[in-house]
Amino acid sequence: MNIHTVATQPYLDQKPGTSGLRKQVPTFQQRNYLENFVQSIFDSLDGYEGTTLVLGGDGRYYNREAIQIILKMAAANGFGKVLVGQGGILSTPAASNLIRQNQALGGIILSASHNPGGPEGDFGVKYNIDNGGPAPEKITNAIYKRTQTIDAYQMLEALDLNLDQLGTVALGEMTVEVVDSVAAYADLMQSLFDFDAIREYIASGFSLAVDSMHAVTGPYASKIFEGLLGAPAGTVKNGVPLENFGGGHPDPNLVYAHDLVEILFGDTPPDFGAASDGDGDRNMILGSNFFVTPSDSLAVLAANATLVPGYKDGIAGVARSMPTSAAVDRVAAKLNINSYETPTGWKFFGNLLDAGKATLCGEESFGTGSNHVREKDGLWAVLFWLNILAVRKQSVADIVKEHWATYGRNYYSRHDYEGVDSDRANTLMGNLRDKVGTMKGKTFGSYTVDYADDFSYTDPVDNSVSQKQGIRIGFTDGSRVVFRLSGTGTQGATLRVYLESYEADTAKHGIETQEALGELIQIADEIAQIKTLTGRDQPTVIT
């Protein structure tokens, strides 16, 4: 066997963000850049010799090259086996499932999620641990620390493997098994949802459109919706994964999934629409002429969980990220179960799911999931909705409106200011941090500040503390404004402003969201001086 120890020098910018290391492709293509990070992952793990690793990505540009490099490095470092998705493809939830099913030590997922792809687009590397979930901060911090001092990596000299051929081959002393990317995931979905009921509902005339945005869910969605559930050919739009996502931005929201939005808000809309993102962990749910906010979606799933076979015995608890609306908290209160508020980042749900404290989790950033894997899961959320619709036989809009009538409506919106100068964004956040200690009791228009802080989270399972997770300003009527800088962007800074107000009165549930939040939007600008400090008149994206 021809294993080389290759000398290298550290790159100082390899700090993992909200979800792994995300950089533009040319950054990853720098000499030894990927190798340094991968060796740093391996060096941060205990006892990996002889163990199994799962490897796959969302198929974006540089996926195949990166997989060949990582396979040879895994072989040189003494891993026993790598399970790799056919063609190098694994959606993030499918990778999480494979790690769990095969008792793997962990997995490397190659994705920059919803960020654009292509030679000038983004790429990313994320490590997931043996529970199938993203590595917690103590591991990502150790990886980062290692990247600062790394001086060598291990590489096997070997020919590239054929990633398209299913089966098992040797790579040095390691085994590589190329597995069907879809099969195990589709089996898992069938174990959770009533496929017969959904199939019958579709056969009876219920219509749907699913947009895979030329990203990883294409093969999964085609097999599940058009194959197993019998939906007509053409139900899955943009179903062929492309290395640059067809030039699009594979982010399932009202702005970037506009093709689907036009269909659902068109003259003859189908009953249901859904989109998923680059790596298949995000989802957007639409009804005919109706948008379901991710926060409401989580609340509706929690309230209706017992209609679905996989959750028929009830849910143990729910968890949401701090900026996500409190709609699901109201469901938890009614069900008399706990509701947890975590920092942004799916990694914070792992302990709660492992400990059985939470069954369903969700985030405002179009992520929903459960204890079936340890990632958010876009198609799972779509199937959950379809199962509820097949049982209740009401429209999406009627289900959500009934939900609001029962629990009240949490009006909610996120305003993103993308590509802001980093210094200006840091000044804005710094100013807010300086202010929060003295804000309690202050009045802005008709709102009075009830509390203001920089969110800090103590994990109830391992007591680890995560600080500076976003500025929260809560008002006495339950409304909130939250400010954070995104941890997933690759250019400049993205300021996220999250706005939420609660309305119990059903007669006032029909107001347009931006109008309902109008005064809060002005107050957010007044407090944070957004326009002045960012130099922007309006957000880049409103969801």
Q: Which residues bind ligand G16 (CB under 6 A)?
A: 18-19, 113-114, 277, 281-282, 321, 344-346, 363, 365, 367, 486-488, 496
Q: At what angle do helices 137-147 and 33-43 cross, to 10 degrees?
A: 130
Find tokens 């300021």 and name the residue.
Answer: 495
Shortest distance, position 351 Cβ to ligand G16, whole Å:
14
In terms of CB distance, is 81 or 376 closer to ligand G16?
A: 376
User: Kind and range of the H or E element at 95?
Assistant: helix 92-101
Nearer residue to ligand G16 within complex by CB, 52 or 128: 128
Mode of pairing for the β-strands spanning 272-276 and 283-287: antiparallel
Catalytic residue (choose from 19, 40, 113, 288): 113
Contact predicate 386/272, CB 8 Å: yes
Nearer to ligand G16 (CB atom), residue 43 or residue 122: 122
Closest contact distance (angstroms) between CB of 513 and ligand G16 is 20
CB of 338 to ligand G16, least distance (A): 20
In contact, 400 and 290? CB cutoff 8 Å: yes
Which of residues 19 and 97 has its CB atom nearest to ligand G16 in the complex?
19
Strands of 181-282, DSSP E:
208-211, 236-237, 272-276
Task: Tell me, rounded to whole angstroms, the distance of Cα 458 from its chain centroid.
Answer: 22
Sequence-distant (6+) residues with CB within 8 A of 492 are 418, 419, 420, 421, 422, 425
Q: Which residue, 77 or 359, is less far from ligand G16 as judged by CB?
A: 359
Q: Give the shortest CB-402-to-ligand G16 separation in angstroms.
A: 28
For ligand G16, the closer of residues 152 and 542 by Cβ is 542
Burial letters for 19-45: b for 16+ Cβ neighbours within 10 Å, e otherwise? bbbbbbbebbeeebbbbbbbbbbbbbb
Residue at token pair 């250019």: 491
- Distance of closest approach, residue 85 Cβ to ligand G16, in angstroms: 17
Q: Are 314 and 308 in contact (CB under 8 A)?
A: no
Q: Which two tokens stand for residue 113?
A: 């999620």
Smallest distance, ligand G16 to C-beta of residue 344, A: 5
Residue 113 among the catalytic residues: yes
Give the active site residues: 113
